[in-house]
Structure 1
Amino acid sequence: MADIGAAIATRMDVLPITRTHRRATVAVGLGLFFEFYEVFLAGVLSSVLVKEFALSKAALPPLLASTFVGMFLGALLLGRLADRFGRRGAFLLNLGFYSVFSLLGAFSPNAVMLLVTRFFAGLGLGAEPPLADTYLTDLLPARHRGRFIALAYTLAFCGVPVVGFLAKGITEGKILGIPGWRWMFVLGALGAVVVFALRRGLPESPRWLQAVGRTEEADRVVAAFEAEAGITEQKPAAAAPVNEPAVPPRALLRPPYRRRTGMMVVFHLLQTFGYYGFGTLVPLVLTAKGYPVSQSLLFTAVTYLGYPLGSALSLPVVERFERKFLVIGTGLAMAVFGIAFGYSGSMALVLVFGFLYTATSNVFSNAFHIYQAEIFPTSVRSTAASGTYSLSRLATAAMPFVLVPLLEGAGPNWLFVTVAAAMVVVAVDVAALGPRTTGRALEAVNTDGAPVTAPERAPRQ
């Protein structure tokens, strides 16, 4: 049975990219689109919601944090469910939860109701990125894995400028007598329903099926991929297939995986200060610099163009350079551009360094999203990726209570010095503890003494 399992992994890695691979990439990317839409929604609407509900300075941080607390719990729960019951079912569950509560949030009569609905919407979307990383990592051939996951995130990051420009375009007035900010929640809910329908037709991960003993089902899924690719017979692999160990969740706290788990715990507790700290607090930073709300929303919308463009810039490099070093290099670049943004004294410099920061941060983001799923075995891949990633949600929930007072007390300069320090620690963490993964078969990355290269491509008939 172990040889059959290894053969399934090998057969997946020698496949060319098929129509189903592309369809899965698009469906996952669209789901991530609404995850990023949701994450950045509270930040771009913060000034509007303060006015709408007459929020005090003390009331704003809990409202901003509620979504991320929900995301923390959702990542823990749904991530483990994906390893127990399958990737596909967890995908559908989280989208269903999100769409219902995002729609309810549109009808919130007060800040308390909005806080509750934002929490439950976050619960639904909490595991979306690590589930996406896990599913596409399971499905894609080793030599194409990084590029297609980066493609999914490039599509997803289009949600960030969409949020920015929608906030600028519709929140200052009403549509059909209903305030524009409420329509933004409705649009998020309706989009999630469309993605739910697209994902129902996706196959289950054959690597997961094999890991839980459903090898015959895994074989049928792989055979369908092979038929789609026109492969009618298998060529022996250049290197013998490696049997990846099936391990229980407690193995993540023991050698050899304890080192990687510890690395990702530190990584996610701190990277969020550089990534989400910048994205969610830009409107408040610009207001603190003296720009009016309308101008700060415009600056935010323009700066947010750096998210999809930066993600697109990662496409030619995620397979060409070792992803470990991409994470390190872009993390350090974020530290430099963040300080420059904090010290910018003109509209032109705000836009330049804001754009450079967001573009670089999304090469960083794509690299680590690919990386975090590659470094754990299939049997616990979702548990490990979601469990450590959930800490970034918890850290993001805490950020308003840390960074907003820091911004008000010390100003934007010290805010970005703090963010830069966090990113330097992130770079050192990955440099010291991270393995190399680019171009390697998953079974090789997660097995001691395994061969470094992926198997040779099977012939097409």
Structure 2
Amino acid sequence: MTTASNSAAIAARMDRLPITRRHRLATVAIGLGLFFDLYEIFLAGVLGSVLQKDFHLGKSSLALLLASAFLGMFVGALGMGRVADRLGRRRAFLLSLGTYSLFSLLGAFSTGPVMLVIARFVAGVGIGAEPPVSDTYLGDLLPPRHRGRYTAWAYTLAFLGVPAAGFLGRWLVPAAPLGFAGWRWMFVIGALGALIVFALRTGLPESPRWLESVGRTREAEAVVASFEQQAGELPEPAPQQVTETETGRLANLFVPPYRRRTLMMTVFHILQTLGYYGFGTLVPIVLVAKGFPVVQSLTFTALTYIGYPVGSALSLPFVERVERKFLVIGSAIVMAVFGLGFGLAADTWLIVAFGFLYTAASNFFSNAYHIYQAEIFPTALRGTATSGTYSLSRLASGLMPFVLLPLLNSAGAGTLFTVVAIAMAVVALDVALLGPRTTGRVLEVVNTASGSTAAAGR
């Protein structure tokens, strides 16, 4: 049997499966790992105003502190995606979580801002590729008819990390349990939780699609057989006439049909971060700029952050029923509208309401695009492409405080969120013009020239 026919057989056998216990365990393990990625990201916004006071930070030092983890995430995402394609999805997971856990714990014992910036940078390197590698892994593992819903479930679990960071900040920051500053406890909690997830993920199977793509056919068949054993009696796999022929050469990302997709995701990730992370990490500082005391701003932030898991849960009925391309476009436009409302609101109830609606809409957006980006590149380059383009969002997030904080200080929240709204409108246009359709389609069909033409829907 040729390599291409082996690949078709592995893919067809995985795609005919119902959801098994192994699929569910993988979804939970991925969701818990992503929990700490999001916890770490939103930790900076929660603690920014507190650390500014404790370490007597100026505006430029605060921007560097907010940026440090994101810049580390850029480095991690850029490198770890290639690790996922070269050494396997499972190894990439374990390396990322282990690095994050160690350096997040070191951050808790920082003696000054320099040590904290370094610790957060390296922790960011560790966890930087967690979302795109997770998207790649679940995309490889889940059958087409369940791929969107179970990936959305993983992110719904993950987004509990956002209000967790918000409420922990509200409860711990004013306190010092056992004489240890509350903000330090928040780093310890993140480190120990990630260590538990590290242990859980050691039991995950490797992606059989990846194993097949690197010539480890026997191992791929063994993994598929373990899923089939749990599934029980199954129909014969459908004959699969279309297979991916791309190798892992980076040049393949810059020829049809992937050139359009690479361009699309490059523009997408540079701009979407202004809307998604710009809101989440700067909202406590925006509220202080609106005149609210630090502790009250943390309360409003925690309430606003509830919208993240709620929005993610609300997306579950839609991700398999509505074309994901259109979900990304629609939710980006809704985010622009609610962001403007938040930026211009002066009354407390309007600030909390628009903040909640914004975060809820943003997780329709987030769930849809995380599923989508792992569907539009071939197996041999899926980790590299998703992590490489996603790394640009981390870089943009790292540079964002140096752009948005001065804008907030000089022009106010209304102008800041006008810029955010424009960025999200361009994101919607980018996907509308360049994005293929993917919902319910077999990955190997989406990732061929003929399948791409059919999927474009144009």
**TM-score if structure 1 supplies the norm length?**
0.97
Is the Cα contact below 8 Å between 2:325 and 2:437 reproduced in 1? yes
Query: How far did 1:345 drift?
Result: 1.1
Q: How does 1:310-325 map to 2 (within 5 A)?
A: 310-325=311-326
Is the Cα contact below 8 Å between 2:13 and 2:237 reproduced in 1? no
Separation in structure 2 between the aligned mates of residue 212 and residue 439 of structure 1, nearest angstrom: 26
Query: How far did 1:173 drift?
Result: 1.6
Separation in structure 1 between the aligned mates of residue 210 and residue 414 of structure 2, nearest angstrom: 47
Separation in structure 1 between the aligned mates of residue 236 and residue 203 of structure 2, nearest angstrom: 30
Separation in structure 2 between the aligned mates of residue 450 and residue 37 of structure 1, nearest angstrom: 38
Query: How far did 1:452 drift?
Result: 10
Is the Cα contact below 8 Å between 1:76 and 1:387 reproduced in 2? yes
Separation in structure 2 between the aligned mates of residue 384 and residue 452 of structure 1, nearest angstrom: 20
Residue in 2 aligned with 1:243?
243
Q: How does 1:177-216 map to 2 (within 5 A)?
A: 177-216=179-218
Query: How far did 1:449 drift?
Result: 2.0
Separation in structure 1 between the aligned mates of residue 396 and residue 447 of structure 2, nearest angstrom: 28
Residue in 2 aligned with 1:457?
none
State yes or no: 1:113 paired with 2:108. Answer: no
Structure 2 residues without counterparts, runs of 5 or longer: none
Separation in structure 2 between the aligned mates of residue 184 and residue 6 of structure 1, nearest angstrom: 47
What letter is aligned with 1:63? L
Residue in 2 aligned with 1:349?
350
Separation in structure 2 between the aligned mates of residue 181 and residue 295 of structure 1, nearest angstrom: 17
State yes or no: 1:412 paired with 2:398. Answer: no
Residue in 2 aligned with 1:300?
301
State yes or no: 1:387 paired with 2:388. Answer: yes
What letter is aligned with 2:447? N
SS in structure 1 at match of 2:292:
coil
Q: How does 1:221-370 map to 2 (within 5 A)?
A: 221-231=223-233, 234-237=235-238, 240-247=240-247, 248-370=249-371
Is the Cα contact below 8 Å between 1:277 and 1:396 reproduced in 2? yes
SS in structure 2 at match of 1:345:
coil
What letter is aligned with 2:245? P
Deviations 1:123-164 (A, max 9, x none): 000000000000000000000000000000000000000000
| Aligned alpha-carbon RMSD (Å) | 1.3
Separation in structure 2 between the aligned mates of residue 451 and residue 38 of structure 1, nearest angstrom: 36
What letter is aligned with 1:94? S
Residue in 2 aligned with 1:398?
399
Runs of 4+ in 1 over 6 A off after TM superposition: 451-454
State yes or no: 1:50 paired with 2:46. Answer: no
Deviations 1:221-263 (A, max 9, x none): 10110011013x64252x5342112322211012221110000
Distance 1:182-1:214 versus aligned 2 partners, 3 A rule: same
Is the Cα contact below 8 Å between 2:35 and 2:158 reproduced in 1? yes
Separation in structure 2 between the aligned mates of residue 245 and residue 354 of structure 1, nearest angstrom: 46
Separation in structure 2 between the aligned mates of residue 159 and residue 450 of structure 1, nearest angstrom: 37
Residue in 1 aligned with 2:433?
432
What letter is aligned with 2:365? F
Q: How does 1:80-95 map to 2 (within 5 A)?
A: 80-95=82-97
Q: How does 1:61-76 map to 2 (within 5 A)?
A: 61-76=63-78
Separation in structure 2 between the aligned mates of residue 123 and residue 381 of structure 1, nearest angstrom: 20
Separation in structure 2 between the aligned mates of residue 342 and residue 451 of structure 1, nearest angstrom: 40
Separation in structure 1 between the aligned mates of residue 192 and residue 142 of structure 2, nearest angstrom: 29
Residue in 2 aligned with 1:459?
none
Query: How far did 1:68 drift?
Result: 0.5
Is the Cα contact below 8 Å between 2:436 and 2:452 reproduced in 1? no
Distance 1:266-1:451 versus aligned 2 partners, 3 A rule: closer
Deviations 1:373-393 (A, max 9, x none): 100000000000000000000
SS in structure 2 at match of 1:143:
helix
Is the Cα contact below 8 Å between 1:211 and 1:246 reproduced in 2? no
Aligned pairs, number: 452
State yes or no: 1:140 paired with 2:142. Answer: yes
Query: How far did 1:5 drift?
Result: 1.2
Structure 1 residues without counterparts, runs of 5 or longer: 455-461
Separation in structure 2 between the aligned mates of residue 137 and residue 445 of structure 1, nearest angstrom: 12
Distance 1:452-1:216 versus aligned 2 partners, 3 A rule: farther
Q: 1:159 aligns with which of 155, 161, 166?
A: 161
Separation in structure 1 between the aligned mates of residue 344 and residue 235 of structure 2, nearest angstrom: 59
Deviations 1:265-296 (A, max 9, x none): 00000000000000001001111111111110
